[in-house]
Structure 1
Amino acid sequence: MPETPMNHDHYDDAFIADWLGKVRTIAVVGASPNPARPSHGVANFLARHGYKVFLVNPGQAGKEQNGLTFYARLADIPEPVDMVDVFRAPEYLAGVVDEALALSPRPKLIWSQLGVRDDKAAAKAEAAGVAVIMNRCPAIEIPRLRLPAAQ
């Protein structure tokens, strides 16, 4: 746990690149089967980029999208996830953090998408040893940073 709180107003490129290089399994919370929704495109981008992706949406549980399975809750995913990518409104981020912190093992990183920020929820995750990146999109950061596919 860092001694000083993380500055979520700015992330060094190296910090983002390091995390995207460490994670292999990603749960996309708020995933949508609708191709017009950003979560749909990002989940598919991450899968094409070599990450193992699990979709989380209670209304779609048991269904598949491009070979990816939907689960109702994080706890329903059959293996540990390294990263939780949150496509929910900011007021739901604290609940997703609580759900992630209840997992064993816990994810290493909670990532919230563009426009999704809750500093109190981030502080709770970080206090529990889980890193947080907010208000960013991995499907933007990976090409911007010219990161290779996940291994």
Structure 2
Amino acid sequence: MADLFRQTKTIAVVGLSPKTHRASYAVAAYMQAHGYRIIPINPREAGKTILSEGCYADLAEARQHHHIDIVDCFRSADDIPPIAEAAIQIGARCLWMQSGIVNIDAARSAHEAGLQVVMDRCLKIEHQRFLVHINTATESE
């Protein structure tokens, strides 16, 4: 996972809400503050901005303007299969399903297409663990 964070530049957040109290917003804002480009994906907010970034209706539209490394999903497990297929089609490196989201079939499809798959984990929490690992390694050198 450390390599994934090191090599990632752009994260598409599917289901990113403009509401600052929502988990999707907090996670995206955290990742943006740590230097990652956030691409909001939310059909209800398409054409607007969230976190000072233009929002797109879907991954295919976003891919016309940005290379996407991670597709971070804040959608129900039942909504994941078409998102996984879109992540495959746009050439994403990773399909990430946030805490509480598990879809084995979508994960299998994405994995078979060569994507790294993470399920039922929070991107922000895992990034914080990565930072602790980096800091600990630096201190011991």
The answer, yes or no, to whether TM exceeds 0.5 is yes
Match of 2:73 in 1: 86
- Aligned residue for 1:98, secondary structure, equals helix
Partners in 1 of 2:82 and 2:58 — Cα distance?
11
Match of 2:45 in 1: 60
**Alignment partner for residue 43 of structure 1, among 25, 28, 33?**
28
Partners in 2 of 1:68 and 1:137 — Cα distance?
22
Deviation track 1:111-147 (CA, whole Å, cap 9, x = no partner) reads: 1100011111111011111110111112111122326
Match of 2:3 in 1: 18
- Aligned residue for 1:146, secondary structure, equals helix
Q: CA deviation at 1:65?
A: 2.1
Deviation track 1:46-71 (CA, whole Å, cap 9, x = no partner) reads: 11110011000000001112312211
Q: Does 1:74 align with 2:93?
A: no
Partners in 2 of 1:131 and 1:52 — Cα distance?
19
Stretches of structure 1 that go unaligned for 5 or more consecutive residues are 1-15
- Aligned residue for 2:106, secondary structure, equals helix
Deviation track 1:12-51 (CA, whole Å, cap 9, x = no partner) reads: xxxx222112211110000001111100111111111100
TM-score, normalisation: structure 2: 0.88
Q: Cα RMSD between the aligned structures?
A: 1.2
Partners in 1 of 2:51 and 2:10 — Cα distance?
17
Stretches of structure 2 that go unaligned for 5 or more consecutive residues are 135-141
Instruction: Give aligned pairs, total.
Output: 131
TM-score, normalisation: structure 1: 0.82
1:60 aligned partner, one-letter code: E
Partners in 2 of 1:63 and 1:25 — Cα distance?
19
**Which consecutive aligned stretches of 4+ in structure 1 deviate over 2 angstroms post-superposition?**
none
**Alignment partner for residue 144 of structure 1, among 129, 134, 138?**
129
Partners in 2 of 1:145 and 1:48 — Cα distance?
15
Partners in 1 of 2:11 and 2:130 — Cα distance?
19
Q: Does 1:122 align with 2:110?
A: no
Work out the percentage of aligned pairs sharing the same amino acid. Answer: 36
